[in-house]
Amino acid sequence: MTYVPHSEADRQAMLQTIGVKSIDELFAVVPEQVRYPALKLPAPMSEQEILRELQQMSERNRDLQHNLCFLGAGAYNHFVPSVVDHVISRSEFFTAYTPYQPEVSQGTLQTIFEYQSMMCALTGMEVVNASHYDGATAAAEAVIMAVNVARGKRRKAIVSPFLHPEYRQTIRTYTQGMEIQIVGDESTRNDLAALAAMLDNQTACVIIQNPDFLGRIESPEALSDFAAKVHAAGALLVVSANPISLGLLVPPGEYGADIAIGEGQPLGNELNYGGPYLGYFGCREEYVRKMAGRLAGQTIDVHGQRGFVLALSTREQHIRREKATSNICTNQALCALAAGVYLAALGRCGLSQVAKLCYHKAHYAAERIDGLKGFKVDRAKPFFNEFIVSCPAKPGKLNRKLLKEHNIVGGFELGRAYPEMEDKMLVCVTELHTRDDIDRLAKALKEVAS
């Protein structure tokens, strides 16, 4: 099976036009000793055979169609309205390349422009780009951008220990050749006050998460005070936020964030075992020329009609080459399209409703679990839709029993990210959970713990 249309007669005629006898002649330049290696791959398959095999392979997973899920921790199980897949399945969108030829790419360009507009509205930022690979790489690019805003003179980034652990790891991977110092996340005792104490004239940025990795939310007042301290030290404030939470909570742009980033997956993108997702990335307009990634901009055509193009591409690698601040080329356009359709479908009223459903249901779940013998919910701080539960047994052990005996995927085992929290799990509740689902979790937790 191949997707090649030629018959042997076609090939012969084409070879004649080229002036060679066989296709092999075209490859004569390849050193003979390595030419035509045998590839040890499974035998080819028909469409029905591969679909059957993949179906079986996929059924080896305990998927969330058949199991109730309370995992979040950076990837969220939300309802995706039917319109989203319908739109991203239009092959005019998904079989197109990057819109370098704007006259035949107005569909992609306008949807990006609309995505940028809606994400600006959601985050309170002045500019949002066309997306990064995911939240983690957006965080890494934010740190690099902050260093560039300081013209490379400030090379320290203060990172909250409650920024997603994989974002913190990705920041370190990205910057390992750049002589940027990463501090702040050595200890979970480093709250906002402790982070503020680390500010100095070498600090390019501080990066925090709200709701933080543990689901907790800070008051806008505390965050504004913190932003003021960061700015007084001449540094930028970078905030990572779950975009669904912004349907309800005061957005980063309103409490002083200079750069807002995060994982865009909760907006209309399926879990897909971790990808493809999209990183959203926004900043204040004054920094736009230091921002990496694509941007769609509005302009006019030769007839004076409105149209859209890739704007400021002179910042990008294909033009600036070694002087570019990032090598990013591909973005997550189709995921950003999904996010845009999701935001447009839910709109002003729908998104705030989803956020409220998440909030109330999570609080109901917290109430139920807190009442169980041996379990304790950490209520020291307000939370959005995830909360910390101290467990009477190892969370890993409880989770295995939950899945085996109750078809429930339990919360994130916090010991994986913070060794001192090995008796705790992070439970996530979304609008997908019904009251019955939550009651089922509470009942199951009680059983597996006893």
Residue 21 near other proteins by CB under 8 A: no
Decide if residue 170 touches other proteins (CB under 8 A): yes
Handedness of CA 171, 184, 149, 256 (dihedral sign): positive
Q: Does 228 bind other proteins (CB under 8 A)?
A: no
Q: Which of residues 414-433 bind other proteins (CB under 8 A)?
A: 431
Selected binder of other proteins within 194, 228, 250, 449 (CB under 8 A): 250
Please name which of 245, 183, 182, 237 lies closest in space to residue 210, comparing C-alpha atoms: 245
b/e sequence 96-132, b meaning 16+ C-beta within 10 Å: beebeebeebbebbbbbbbbbebbbebbbbebbbbbb
| Only segment of 29-37, 149-157, 188-196, 234-242 that touches other proteins (CB under 8 A) | 29-37
- DSSP class of residue 25 equals G
Interface with other proteins includes 12 (CB under 8 A)? no
**Region of 151-159, 188-196, 232-240, 307-315 interacting with other proteins (CB under 8 A):** 307-315
Determine the Cα–Cα distance for residues 344 and 266; give it in Å rounded to an integer: 14
Q: Which two tokens stand for residue 428?
A: 């996530």
Kind and range of the H or E run holding 308 = strand 306-310
Decide: 128 and 281 in contact? Cβ < 8 Å: yes
Measure the CA–CA gap between 184 and 229, rounded to whole angstroms: 16
- Decide if residue 127 touches other proteins (CB under 8 A): yes
Structural contact between residues 243 and 122, judged by C-beta atoms closer than 8 angstroms: yes
> Binder to other proteins among 198, 284, 364, 390 (CB under 8 A)?
364
Q: How far, in Å, CA of 208 to CA of 17, rounded?
A: 63
Binding to other proteins (CB under 8 A) within 80-119 occurs at: 81, 83, 85-87, 89-108, 110-111, 113-114, 116-118
- Residue 358 within binding range of other proteins, rule CB under 8 A: no
State yes or no: residue 405 binds other proteins (CB under 8 A): no
Regarding 181 and contact with other proteins (CB under 8 A), the answer is no
397 binds other proteins, rule: CB under 8 A: no
Distance in Å, CB of 283 to other proteins, minimum:
11
Nearer Cβ to other proteins (145/199): 145
Number of amino acids touching other proteins (CB under 8 A): 206
Handedness of CA 282, 165, 392, 439 (dihedral sign): positive
Please, which residue, 52 or 201, has the CB nearer to other proteins? Answer: 52
The residues in 188-227 that bind other proteins, with binding defined as CB under 8 A, are 217, 219-221
| Closest to 167 (Cα-Cα) out of 147, 143, 188 | 143
The DSSP call for residue 26 is G
For other proteins, the binding residues in 43-72 under the rule CB under 8 A are: 43-47, 50-51, 53-55, 57-65, 69, 71
Asked if 341 is part of the footprint of other proteins (rule: CB under 8 A), the reply reads: yes
Nearer to other proteins, 202 or 352 (CB): 352
